[in-house]
């Protein structure tokens, strides 16, 4: 059974700004090297490596090797849900006026982004709402993919039915969006929707970060398929 000391020890993993920044960067679902994370957080590589050892040891990150290179990524989807949920519960602080580039990047993240392997931001919430309105999701008692939703994924989006087998991961679940303060769809269904949107060219990344945008073909397709409004 988890003790108060265990919980306090776990929480301290995120009680450091550099470690928190590392975890938020890894919400893009990709694997990063220590050097990349050091550059991203503005600390020395040795400092980043030290923080990574703590995060891996605490179960928040997983390390994998590929040839001579070592990469880290979030340990599993539940860590992404935890981080997004915690971020949504933090009251935003007043921040000083920043440069146009920073303001533009922040606006792009709020408009649409990936949260590990599913869509978030206004785009993610709008897709979730449209799926519910179309009868593909049932939120009457939590999140559930309806039979029509499963048929839409495997038929219209071309998802392999085997890819919907959830195993230990929920087929569909709500993830509290930290910018919208509402839930977007996550779980296996959320991941497959995001994967299919990328594969069809309906969404595209903005630069190398988490921000994504609807493409012109995506706007047309999702308006036709889901009645999705313009997400601006």
pLDDT of residue 231: 74
State how far the alpha carbon of 32 is from the alpha carbons of 96, 119, 153, 169, 197, in Å: 30, 20, 30, 24, 24
DSSP 94-113: P-----HHHHHHHHHHHH-E
Domains present along the chain, CATH in parentheses? 4-75 (1.10.10.10), 100-226 (no CATH)
> If you search the block for the tokens 């923080």, which residue do you land on?
51
pLDDT in tens, the chain (232 residues): 778 988 899 999 999 999 999 999 898 888 899 999 999 999 999 999 999 999 999 999 999 888 788 899 999 888 988 888 888 777 665 555 456 565 677 788 889 999 888 999 999 999 999 999 999 999 987 889 999 999 999 999 999 999 988 677 889 988 888 888 888 999 999 999 999 999 999 999 987 778 899 999 999 999 999 998 877 6
Instruction: Give pLDDT tens digits for 137-186.
Output: 999 878 899 999 999 999 999 999 999 886 778 899 888 888 888 889 99
| Long-range CB contacts for residues 59-67, cutoff 8 Å, separation at least 24 | 59/10, 60/13, 60/14, 60/23, 61/22, 61/23, 61/26, 64/31
State how far the alpha carbon of 202 is from the alpha carbons of 44, 217, 227, in Å: 38, 6, 14
């Amino acid at each position: 059974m988890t003790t108060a000391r265990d919980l306090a020890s776990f929480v301290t993993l995120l009680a450091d700004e550099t470690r928190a920044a590392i975890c938020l960067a890894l919400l893009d679902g990709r694997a990063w090297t220590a050097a990349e994370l050091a550059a991203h957080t503005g600390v020395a590589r040795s400092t980043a490596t030290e923080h990574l050892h703590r995060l891996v040891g605490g179960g928040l990150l997983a390390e994998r090797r590929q040839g001579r290179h070592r990469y880290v990524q979030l340990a599993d989807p539940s860590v992404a849900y935890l981080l997004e949920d915690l971020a949504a519960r933090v009251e935003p602080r007043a921040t000083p006026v920043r440069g146009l580039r920073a303001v533009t990047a922040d606006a792009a993240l709020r408009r649409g982004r990936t949260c590990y392997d599913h869509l978030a931001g206004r785009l993610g919430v709008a897709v979730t709402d449209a799926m519910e309105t179309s009868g593909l999701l049932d939120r009457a008692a939590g999140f559930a993919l309806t039979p029509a939703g499963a048929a839409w994924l495997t038929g219209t989006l071309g998802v392999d039915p085997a890819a919907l087998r959830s195993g230990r991961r929920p087929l569909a679940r709500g993830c509290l969006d930290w910018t919208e303060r509402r839930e977007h769809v996550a779980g296996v269904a959320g991941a497959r929707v995001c994967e299919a949107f990328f594969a069809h060219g309906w969404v595209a990344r903005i630069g190398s970060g988490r921000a994504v945008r609807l493409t012109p073909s995506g706007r047309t397709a999702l308006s036709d398929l889901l009645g999705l409004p313009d997400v601006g």
